[in-house]
Amino acid sequence: MIQPSSQVLVRSEIKVGFEEIIGQDLVLESLKRTIKSGEIGHAYLFSGPAGSGKKTLALLFAQALNCRNDLKNPCQQCLSCRKILSGNHPDLYIIKPQGASLKIGQLREVKDSLYLLAVEGRKKICIIYDAELLTLPAANSLLKILEEPPQDLVFILLTARLWDLPPTVVSRCTHFTLTPLPGEKMKQILGKYDFSLPEEREIIIALAGGNPGKGLEMASRGGWENKYKEAFLLVKSIEDGPAEDIFLKAEEFSRRDDLQEFLELLLLIYRDRLVLKLSSQENVLINSLIQPDNKGRVESSASTGKILVKEEDQKNTFFLEKICRALMQLQGELHHNINLRLAMEVLFLKMRGAV
Ligand SMILES: [Zn+2]
């Protein structure tokens, strides 16, 4: 089924061409060279995690292939660029999963149109979201089209799970991987947000893992400093508070909708403590809410009213590393159907040093 693309094209922030994509210089250079050369392939594959910019890049590529003003960078001004942006270009097709898969019927629905010449643009573009969800018959149908592709047709497949795509499809595509961005680039992307505390930005950068979409989404939600504080106080309470509270807290936290994020915050805290033990270097800490003094001890930051950690960390590196591992393991298990309450009890008991 052809989806009205306006839903995904509500991107009023697009004002520029490929410069909008930050930190993927190699990919952009290669795409620009392709466009300039005029030797356009019939199938491209953009892979990278959700939020890495695949959809944005696909639309920019579609615009560039049809822009009337520029040969390698979409102008955003011409009728073609604007139509693609608004989802009204007659040569743009966007296919998204129906339910849990991309079905052969969805390809059949557009197949005849794809064999017709482009109506307005130089190229017909067919963007397939979540291409890993192509059913086997749908993937075979796509391969059939690619065996004898219409001259002006360009497929752009997007996937966050490259490994789930049939190798026969991958091998037919020119493949570009969107890599995680380094911290400096993430800072640049988050620059437009006015954080009340710079630490909040650092926390987001750490949690987003180089994923610009995730970082922007987290920044728009806000409140990360408070969440971090809550996680920090939980750690203190589990490690030093009354033992009987552990089970109550395990039940309470197992019900949280944001458990995955909360576990990531806990991981940041233990990771920072481990780093402090090993190096005492403030600049390698993910956040600066916990700061070592000039003797390498964790010092309070009372002047800013932040979390106070006056005493030197009593836990050894073995313990801190063990908790980091336990947190990472639990994060991986959350997607499976595990008993959350039991899992949180075990985690908290480990944090307590009881197991
Ligand atoms: Zn244009």
pLDDT at 19 (0 to 100) = 82
Ligand 1 centroid from CA 152, angstroms? 18
Mean pLDDT by 10 residues, the chain (355 residues): 36 62 89 92 94 92 91 88 91 93 93 89 95 95 93 95 93 94 87 77 86 88 84 89 91 92 91 78 55 44 41 80 94 86 95 88
pLDDT at 6 (0 to 100) = 33
Ligand 1 centroid from CA 348, angstroms? 56
Ligand 1 centroid from CA 172, angstroms? 28
pLDDT at 283 (0 to 100) = 58
Q: Does domain 5-179 have CATH number 3.40.50.300?
A: yes
Ligand 1 centroid from CA 19, angstroms? 14
Query: Among 198, 199, 204, which Cα is nearest to 220's?
Result: 204
What is the C-alpha separation between 25 and 203, in angstroms, rounded? 26
Task: Give the pTM.
Answer: 0.72
pLDDT at 14 (0 to 100) = 45
What is the C-alpha separation between 47 and 291, in angstroms, rounded? 38
Query: Among 93, 104, 121, which Cα is nearest to 3's?
Result: 93
Ligand 1 centroid from CA 330, angstroms? 48
Ligand 1 centroid from CA 69, angstroms? 5
Selecting from 1.20.272, 1.10.30, 1.10.3470, 1.25.40, what CATH number does the domain 223-352 have? 1.20.272
- Between the alpha carbon of residue 331 and those of residues 2, 74, 165, 208, 258, the distances in Å are 36, 41, 25, 15, 12
Q: Tokens representing 222? A: 């806000």
Instruction: Kindly compute the dihedral angle of the four CA atoms of residues 226, 228, 231, 233, in this order, to the nearest 10 degrees.
Output: -70
Could you tell me where in the chain the CATH 3.40.50.300 domains are found? 5-179
Ligand 1 centroid from CA 9, angstroms? 16
Ligand 1 centroid from CA 20, angstroms? 15
Ligand 1 centroid from CA 81, angstroms? 4
Ligand 1 centroid from CA 36, angstroms? 15
Which residues 6+ apart lie within 8 Å of 314 measured at CB?
none
Ligand 1 centroid from CA 34, angstroms? 17
Ligand 1 centroid from CA 6, angstroms? 18
pLDDT at 13 (0 to 100) = 45
Residue 163 per-residue DSSP state: G
Q: Where are the alpha helices (DSSP H) in the chain?
A: 25-37, 54-66, 79-86, 104-114, 136-147, 167-172, 183-189, 198-208, 212-221, 224-240, 245-254, 259-279, 317-333, 340-352
Residue 178 per-residue DSSP state: -
Could you tell me where in the chain the CATH 1.20.272 domains are found? 223-352
Ligand 1 centroid from CA 30, angstroms? 19
Ligand 1 centroid from CA 95, angstroms? 23
Query: Among 88, 74, 98, 127, which Cα is nearest to 6's?
Result: 88
Ligand 1 centroid from CA 284, angstroms? 44
